Amino acid sequence: MTQFLQQLINGLSLGSIYALIALGYTMVYGIIKLINFAHGDIYMLGAYIGFICTAQLGMSFFPALVAAMAVCALIGVVIERIAYKPLRNATRITALITAIGVSYFLEASTQKVMGTGVKTFPQVLANQKIMIGDVMITTQQIAIFATTIGLMLLLQFIVRKTKVGRAMRAVSVDADAARLMGVNVDMTISYTFAIGSALAGAAGVLVGLYYNSINPLMGMLPGVKAFIAAVFGGIGIIPGAMFGGFFIGIVETLVSGYGSSLYKDAVVYIILIIILVVKPAGLLGKNIKEKV
Amino acid sequence: MTVLKVSGLTKNFGGLAAVSNVNLEIEERELIGLIGPNGAGKTTLFNLLTGVYDPSEGKIELNVEGTMKSIGGLKPYVITGLGLARTFQNIRLFKNMTVLDNVKLAMNKSVKYSTLAAILRLPSYYREEQRVLEEAVKLLEVVGLAEKQTTLAKNLPYGQQRKLEIARALAAKPKILFLDEPAAGMNPQETTELTELIHQIKEQFNLTVVLIEHDMSLVMKICERIYVLDYGKCIADGTPDAIKNNRRVIEAYLGED
């Protein structure tokens, strides 16, 4: 039981990271039906910006988090304007391949600028162990979880209660109708990329803090796993991405804890296969009947 | 005062001229009907006027604060901001949003707060959201949907969806309202209610209204002036009585003998 609770807590920390990345996948898919495969690399950039802010500029945790989110938001918007916007009316596969290209570009550029090696992320947050019975929680885990929940609440607020949120929801349903109701669709898409990228940037800083080491290719695997989390919850559905992220994180740590960490990736991919076979629209998704 | 002037407007799709050399001149607070057989180019004309399509040729001028401004080729959301709003032939509500949010969305352009102000919950956010809420509820009262605020748009009955589209278009604060077949699929009772609603909003909001409609009794009853399209060309315009007796119009609808 103790081990189960312990793994659950570790899973929630990892799941927080996946959920934050998954939100960006799902929001972008919701609004322009693009699987943005460069999204995992935005997360990597977030970690590097966090690294620069803390290790080189001497910032503390919170300012570094905000700075990483802001810079990632900007990078997300610029990528969309340069790489995806010209392809708005192209076939979906064209945009998808472009996204893969952007992903490699970001990885290679980071390798060029920051070096290919692993960097050590400074411990900007005191890491104390708190024992509850036999279960250990670190203050970092609490910080990760609290930051994630805070950002999710903020996201829900923006999407549900503000004009940008209304515009985002309307564009995802019918972009042409939204345009005719006075909505600046390009601006709304930029906002979506900004918010999704900011969340990925936050995840990058949190992961740097949690694992202490970052490298230019660190975005690949979590990017794929967060994508699976988004598909699991129902791509395009925001609560689905949150749920999927936590679920995948917990499953992964449980597999590592009880079975073997060798299988943790395999299990996540098996989940993807099962969900695609059994409920392709995702857990919270509705199957759309093709109209004849 | 002329509010909308269209001259020599043409739209070609490949070799087909869907709209060909159309001229319109619409005065402030007129109620204009746009009729014609299926495929005559009525909706295409609406799409040109609201910026969905760029014109192949011709000019569209809108009266913006006293001066005629060319709006051909402007982005749809800019044109909407200048005072044109529309409804759709096949209803295009934001189905998964509430009735209230559908109306609020169309007010986005007039909402003055930044997203940052919203995140920080500054007073400007609360003030503007409150204003938008009050205005949206007022518009829903006008079309009789105030009790349905929290219903999802897709769950409204058909006739009410049409009314919600009108409320949403009004929320964009138009000077000219384009209604694309507002009575399509309605029963006689609903059509009567709609006729009253159109009159009411025209008076209450000082609107110029242009409507496409196949229900001739509705068109003849409420329109002050009618334009008739056939094969993309404007073949007649005039009062309902003149149109009823126009030979070319009768030929277009019934065929030549």
As separate numbers, helices (DSSP H) first and strands (DSSP E) second, chain B gives: 10, 10
Pair B109, B77 in one domain = no
Question: Do the beta carbons of residue B229 and residue B18 sit within 8 Å?
Answer: no
Tokens matching residue A39: 């999204």
Pair B112, B69 in one domain = no
- The predicted pLDDT at position B254 comes to 75
Q: Give the range of the structural domain holding residue B197, as residue numbers without chain letter.
A: 2-83+174-254
Task: Verify whether the Cβ–Cβ distance A184 to B77 is below 8 Å.
Answer: yes
B173 Ramachandran zone, left/alpha/beta (phi>0; psi -120 to 50): left
Pair B29, B11 in one domain = yes
**Would A285 be classed as within a structural domain?**
no
**Would B237 be classed as within a structural domain?**
yes
**Would A253 be classed as within a structural domain?**
yes
pLDDT tens digits, residue range B99-126?
999 999 999 988 989 989 999 999 999 9
**CA angle in degrees (0–180, nearest 5) for B51-B22-B61:** 50
Q: What is the CATH number of the domain that holds A154?
A: 1.10.3470
Provide the β-strand partners of residue B85. B177
Pair B66, B101 in one domain = no
Residue that terminates a domain, selected from B157, B184, B209: B157
Rounded to whole angstroms, the Cα distance separating B53 from B76 reads: 9
Amino acid type, B174? P
Lowest mean pLDDT among A204-208, B214-218, B225-229, B239-243: B214-218
Residue that terminates a domain, selected from B123, B157, B191: B157
In the predicted model, is pLDDT for residue A292 greater than 60? Answer: no
**Would A114 be classed as within a structural domain?**
yes
**Would B164 be classed as within a structural domain?**
no
Tokens matching residue A77: 């918007």
Strands (E), chain B: 2-13, 16-27, 31-35, 57-64, 67-70, 84-86, 176-180, 208-212, 225-230, 233-238
From B115, which residue of chain A is nearest by alpha-carbon distance? A164
Pair B229, B121 in one domain = no
Pair B73, B193 in one domain = yes
User: For B229, which DSSP code?
Assistant: E
- The predicted pLDDT at position A291 comes to 54
Strands of the B225-230 sheet, one edge to the other: B84-86, B176-180, B208-212, B31-35, B225-230, B233-238
CB atoms within 10 A of CB A29: 22
Rounded to whole angstroms, the Cα distance separating A65 from A205 reads: 6
ipTM surpasses cut 0.85: yes
- Contact list in B for residue A179 (CB cut-off 8 A) is 75-77, 80
**Would A226 be classed as within a structural domain?**
yes
**Would A289 be classed as within a structural domain?**
no
Task: Verify whether the Cβ–Cβ distance B108 to A163 is below 8 Å.
Answer: yes
Lowest mean pLDDT among A265-269, A280-284, B127-131, B204-208: A280-284
From B120, which residue of chain A is nearest by alpha-carbon distance? A154
**Among candidate residues A240, A76, A30, A53, the one with its CA nearest the CA of residue A152:** A240
Phi, psi (deg, nearest 5) at residue B98: -70, 165
In a 13 Å sphere around the CA of B190, the CA atoms on its Cβ side amount to 14
- The predicted pLDDT at position B215 comes to 87
Return the residue matching tokens 């007010």: B107
CB atoms within 10 A of CB B22: 22
**Would A290 be classed as within a structural domain?**
no
Q: Give the range of the structural domain holding residue A187, as residue numbers without chain letter.
A: 2-278
H runs (alpha helix) in chain A: 2-32, 39-51, 61-79, 92-114, 139-161, 163-173, 175-180, 185-211, 220-233, 238-258, 264-278
Provide the β-strand partners of residue B123. none
The count of domains in chain B is: 2
Tokens matching residue B142: 């006008």
Q: Mind giving me the DSSP string for B159-203?
A: HHHHHHHHHHHHHT--SEEEEESTTTT--HHHHHHHHHHHHHHHH
A150 touches chain B (CB under 8 A): no
Amino acid type, B200? Q
Rounded to whole angstroms, the Cα distance separating B220 from B33 reads: 8
**Would A250 be classed as within a structural domain?**
yes
pTM: 0.92
Question: For residue A286, what are the contacts with CB-CB under 8 A and spacing of at least 6?
Answer: none
pLDDT-based confidence at residue A287 (cuts at 50, 70, 90): low
Question: Do the beta carbons of residue B24 and residue B4 sit within 8 Å?
Answer: yes
The count of domains in chain A is: 1
**Would A231 be classed as within a structural domain?**
yes
Pair B187, B129 in one domain = no
Angle between helices A139-161 and A185-211 (to 10 degrees): 170
What 3-state class would DSSP assign to B145?
A: coil
pLDDT-based confidence at residue A126 (cuts at 50, 70, 90): confident
Residues 177-206 of A with CB under 8 A from B: 177-185, 191
The b-or-e profile of B144-172 (16+ CB within 10 A means b, else e) is: ebbebeeebbeebeebbbbbbbbbbbbbb
**Among candidate residues A35, A20, A9, A27, the one with its CA nearest the CA of residue A245:** A20
Q: What is the number of residues in chain B?
A: 257
Question: Do the beta carbons of residue B149 and residue B98 sit within 8 Å?
Answer: yes
Cα torsion at A241, A243, A248, A250 (round to 10°)?
A: 150
Mean pLDDT of chain B, nearest integer: 93
**Which of the residues B87, B89, B94, B109 would you substitute to probe the A interface, choosing the one with the greatest number of A C-beta atoms within 10 Å?**
B94
Which residues of B make CB contacts under 8 Å with A?
50-52, 75-77, 80-81, 85-86, 88, 92-97, 101, 104-106, 108-109, 111, 113, 115, 118-119, 125, 129, 132, 168-169, 171-172
A30 Ramachandran zone, left/alpha/beta (phi>0; psi -120 to 50): alpha
Tokens matching residue B73: 């080729």
Lowest mean pLDDT among A45-49, A133-137, B21-25: A133-137
- The predicted pLDDT at position A1 comes to 81
Pair B78, B10 in one domain = yes
**Which of the residues A69, A88, A155, A163 would you substitute to probe the B interface, choosing the one with the greatest number of B C-beta atoms within 10 Å?**
A163
Lowest mean pLDDT among A233-242, B154-163, B206-215, B248-257: B248-257
Lowest mean pLDDT among A23-32, A129-138, A173-182, B127-136: A129-138
pLDDT-based confidence at residue B252 (cuts at 50, 70, 90): confident
**Would B59 be classed as within a structural domain?**
yes
Pair B247, B191 in one domain = yes
